[in-house]
Amino acid sequence: MKVLRSEIDSEATKERMLREARILAKLDHSNIVPVYDLGTLGEERVYYTMKFLEGKTLAEYTLENTELLDLLRVFIRVCNAVAHAHSKGVLHRDIKPENIMLLPYGEVMVVDWGIAKAGVESSDEANQNDFKFSSSSFTTSSTTIESTLLGTPSYCAPEIWKSVPDSGTFPPKYTISSDIYSIGATLYYTLTGRPPLVANSFGELQRLSAGHSPPPPRTLQQEIPRPIEAICLKALSASTQHRYTNAEHIARDLQLYLDGYEISAYKENMLERLVRWTKRNAFIVLLLFVYVLVRILLFFFSLL
Amino acid sequence: MSKPLIGILLGAVLGILDGLTSLMYPEVAPEIMGILIGSSIKGMLAGIIIGFVARKVSNLTTMIVVGLAVGFFFAFIVAYLNSMAGQTYWLEILLPGSLVGAILGYATQKYGSKPKGKVQTT
């Protein structure tokens, strides 16, 4: 049961909590926690009830589990949950490793829909109310900035950063593409253990984001497969036109990779194609090898 | 593509390739056309049987064993007929023939579509 504490019972927090409950009620997906009930207690304190989640965040899980295939399987479910939300016109707007929960029996849940927004094509007025930007509120790369910029700085898309109040493009317009960027940034963290852009201050992060050059994941972890790096970098593309258009497409590419097929984000050379085919068809390659070996051995025996 | 069709096509190709390996033995070179025809027919027969079994079975290990058995069976017939004609190539025919069957078992299990189930109406 989630109840608003009386000391933070402002209209804004009440609205945020109500919005989270209403949005969750719209979403029916196995990787999104369902809301059971919504109402008010005495003194108009808002509450809602939902499934109690006990587990680890993806950030914690990544520290303990470095098995890439496991992490990718988790990530596919995250993408599917976000794709479902997008299909219902809901933007999460704060996708990050801390907002993904892994439960003891392998369930994956995308949580914290408190700043999510229903109606992807929302009016500018609604955006204006949502985004009151304050550079002094920067805390850490993993902390959501309350009541100011919505989202977490290190996981925010560059186009959101460009929408600071003095840039003339305020308020920022969150889109499916900005959620896709956050998915890419989260995948980056999952692969490398750090967000794509790391800075010591809000201003530095803003400058870095303007240049937007996260180091390719393989420069930090050489064992990351090139196709996975390509998926990550495509989702993190500075240009929204070069990003995936749908979270489902990221999930599909990840699943294709896991199944040993070519992905859309990476053009492989002949050798890579051959290696991938051999891995996918390892047993038939082994049988053919045994066949050739048997033939050669029989031939040499016949010479004796 | 259906599993029996995959079995027939792959069986023919593998049969021809298997037959061509007999060129490693110069003494049988004059009979190469007969060997190729016989070998491809043997591959196609094994392929269609294995393909039909693969439509019913959904287990890779089972299909490899079935493939081995069917491949061995046809190879045995060929080897037996050869021995009747005075040629003794038992191992040279049985071992590769069985392996070709195993490859067919694997391929028909992994690739090709099963027939769609019929909808029963009452």
- Based on the fold, state whether residues A141 and A283 are members of the same structural domain: no
Q: Are residues A233 and A291 in the same domain?
A: no
Q: Is residue A148 part of a domain?
A: yes
- Which alpha helices (H) appear in A133-265, and where do they start and end? 158-161, 176-192, 202-211, 217-220, 226-235, 247-258
The reply to whether residue B25 touches residue A294, judged by beta carbons under 8 angstroms, is no
A157-172 average pLDDT score? 67
Mutate to test the interface with A, among B28, B65, B91, B111 (most CBs of A within 10 A): B91
Same-domain check for residues A292 and A147? no
Predicted local distance difference test score (pLDDT) of residue A139: 39
Residue A162 lies in a domain: yes
- Whether A281 and A167 map to the same domain: the answer is no
Could you tell me which of A192, A108, A198 has the C-alpha nearest to residue A152? Answer: A198
Judge whether B92 and A291 are in contact, CB under 8 Å. no
A280 shares its domain with A190: no
Helix H or strand E encompassing A108: strand A108-110
Q: What pLDDT sits at residue A119?
A: 56
Residue A12 located in a structural domain: no
Q: Are residues A218 and A289 in the same domain?
A: no
Q: Which residue has the tokens 């109402």?
A: A39
Residue A101 lies in a domain: yes
Question: At A152, is the secondary structure helix, strand, or coil?
Answer: coil
Give Cα B62 to chain centroid, integer Å: 16
Q: How confident is the model at residue A182 (pLDDT cuts 50, 70, 90)?
A: very high
> Per the CB < 8 Å rule, is B96 touching A287?
no
A296 and A190 housed in the same domain: no
| pLDDT per residue as tens digits for the range A246-286 | 999 999 999 999 999 999 999 999 999 999 999 988 888 99
Q: Do B95 and A288 touch (CB under 8 A)?
A: no
Distance from CA of A287 to the nearest CA of B (A): 7
Q: Is residue A24 part of a domain?
A: no
Rounded Cα distance, A127 and B71, in Å: 70
The answer as to whether A27 is a domain residue is: no
* Ranges A122-126, A288-292, B93-97: which has the least confidence: A122-126
Residues of chain A with pLDDT > 70: what percent? 82
- Is residue A169 domain-resident? yes
Average pLDDT over residues A123-140: 39
CATH of residue A99: 1.10.510.10
Nearest CA-CA distance, residue B90 and chain A, Å: 11
Average pLDDT over residues B64-82: 93
Residues of A within 8 A of B102 (CB-CB) are 287
Beta bridge mates, A49: A37
- Does the pLDDT at position A111 exceed 70? yes
Number of domains in chain A: 2
A232 and A103 within one domain: yes
A295, closest residue in chain B (CA to CA): B96
* A164 and A277 inside one domain: no
User: How far off is chain A from B89, nearest CA to CA, in Å?
Assistant: 10
Are residues A286 and A208 located together in one domain of the fold? Answer: no
Considering chain B, what is the average pLDDT of its residues?
Answer: 89
Percent of chain A with pLDDT over 90: 36
CB A195 within 8 A of CB A156: no
Contact A284 B95 (CB under 8 A): no
A237 phi/psi in degrees, rounded to 5: -55, 135
This model of the complex carries an ipTM of 0.82
Residues A168, A196: one domain? Answer: yes
| pLDDT for res A23 | 80
Judgement on whether residues A168 and A293 belong to the same structural domain of the protein = no
Residue A283: domain span: 273-303
* Active site amino acids of A: 94
Choice between B116 and A232, residue whose per-residue pLDDT is larger: A232
Q: Is residue A40 included in any domain, yes or no?
A: no
Contact B25 A287 (CB under 8 A): no
